[in-house]
Structure 1
Amino acid sequence: MSRKALPKGGRTKQKRLSPDDRRKEFVAKATEFFSEEGFGGATRDLARRLGVTQPLLYRYFPSKDDLIKEVYRTVYLEPFDTAWDRLLADRSRPLRSRLKEFYSAYTKVIFTRKWLRIYFYSGLKGLDINRWYVGMVGDTILTRIVRECWHEAGRPARGKPTAAELEMAWVFHSGIFYYGVRKYIYESPVLEDKEQMISDAVDAFLAGFQQVFAAAATQRTPEKLPV
């Protein structure tokens, strides 16, 4: 029985990628590369890792900044679920369960070594998109959380959260974020039950918010004069 001759060297020829698939491959490899080497890594080294020439890489991405922006879009923008705000705003459910479900979903996206390393490298480089991401978290996620805390406490809706209220939400959010840093960047021991960690953090935040800002609101209320 005859057999088809194998290509020279015994290897099958790789399937030719479409331009769109080749672009996606470049972005995926660049994400891995920048997460390991930082944004100071040379494109010639990236091209070598890809097994292509530097001019071919520049045919898809005219500059290194263009490539970095595409890495950010795929790492930060694509996974950001617009349904998260609807989840947090669903007042048919207790706020505690909404927060637990949100942070369970959110941490599934950001708790990877690649995501976290890219985040820190971009912060050190001072990229605008990193500042934009921090601003988006504050303006969408944390502002929404503070407003839902007002509603849960029976307080009237008003404009933007105070600086102190927003800072308290950042402390809560950052505590959960740092759990991922400790586990995936520092490889330090952490409570392995992530859901328990989230549940405890949510309980502590809600109790603290209620106590601190309810007391502050009471102190700001002028005393009634006796009739």
Structure 2
Amino acid sequence: MDGQTETSRAETEDGGTRRRLPPEERRQQILDEAVRFFAEVGLDGNTRDLARRLGVTQSLLFKYFATKDDLIEAVYERVYLGRLSPDWPDRLTDRSVPLRARLLAFYNEYSALIFQREWMRIFMFSGLAGAALNHRYLKHLGDVILRPLLAETEALATPGAQPTMEDIWNLHGGIVYIGIRQHIYRMPPPDDPDEAIARAIDRYLAFCGIGPED
């Protein structure tokens, strides 16, 4: 029988055996559990405990991720960069669509992806630990999403009401806080998060002197 089939066996943490998974499936299993693990215990969690949860040896874990840093990098790719849709920049700068409609579409989609326990908790743990993940993600978000968005609002804003990057970050941060309330502070979210997002967008556009059809 092929040594890579589901019936073949692999060493476990306690010296027993478990079925050997195909390499890509095993890697995904480790990564899925790593996301849950770091969301629960923080980035200081050690790989021995993670291996124990998986029921495998630490050496098997390091077969797929050579170092803990490599594993955290894979978690970052999965949880953060992997949730950024490549077509968002084009859709946000499509001036054939009113700016309010573009913002609503983006933030409704974005919030659905990030208002999740793993995203929020890993992001908070990373910030508290001073890890580079937050800085990289926020720089990427600023370059790819928020700076183009600023250019769009600058083009439509009335004279004397020109927005700044600080205003854009305030809009973005206020929307993200809806998820922080739920998953970090364990407070009830708004009854209708989409409505709360719409109000935040309308306040921002009113500040810029931009109408709903502009």
Q: Which category of TM-score, normalised to the shorter sequence, fits these structures? A: 0.7 to 0.9
Aligned residue pairs total 192
Structure with max Cα Rg: 1
On the 8 A contact 1:146/1:166 being kept in 2, the answer is: yes
| Contact 2:158/2:208 (<8 A) preserved | no
**Alpha-carbon distance in 2 for matches of 1:154, 1:88:** 20
Q: CA RMSD in A?
A: 1.9
- Superposition deviation, residue 14 in structure 1: 7.1
How far is 1:15 from its partner?
A: 5.8
Q: Which residue of 2 aligns with 1:172?
A: 171
1:130 alignment partner in structure 2: 134
- Residues 145-194 of structure 1: CA distance to partner in whole angstroms, max 9, x if unpaired? 11111222377xxxxxx9x7000110111000001100222121332211
TM-score, length-scaled by structure 1:
0.80
- For residue 98 of structure 1, the aligned residue among 96, 102, 121 is 102
In structure 1, the gaps of 5 or more residues are: 1-12, 156-161, 212-227
Percent of pairs with identical residues: 44
Shift in Å, 1:53: 0.6
Residue 143 of structure 2 corresponds to residue 139 of structure 1: yes
Of the three residues 26, 51, 54, the one matched with 2:55 is 51
In structure 1, the partner of 2:70 is 66
Partner of 2:205: 206
Cα pair 1:123 1:130 within 8 Å, conserved = yes
Secondary structure at the residue paired with 2:209? Answer: helix
Q: 1:61 corresponds to which letter in structure 2?
A: F
Tell me the distance in 2 between the aligned counterparts of 1:208 and 1:189: 28
CA shift in 2, pair 1:190/1:78, >3 Å: closer
Specify the SS of the correspondent of 1:78.
helix
**Contact 2:181–2:189, Cα closer than 8 Å, also in 1:** yes
CA distance in 2, matches of 1:200, 1:116: 22
Which stretch has the larger CA shift, 182-191 or 192-201? 182-191
In the TM superposition, 1:7-156 aligns within 5 A as 16-153=20-157
Kept in 1, the 8 Å contact 2:157–2:208? The answer is no
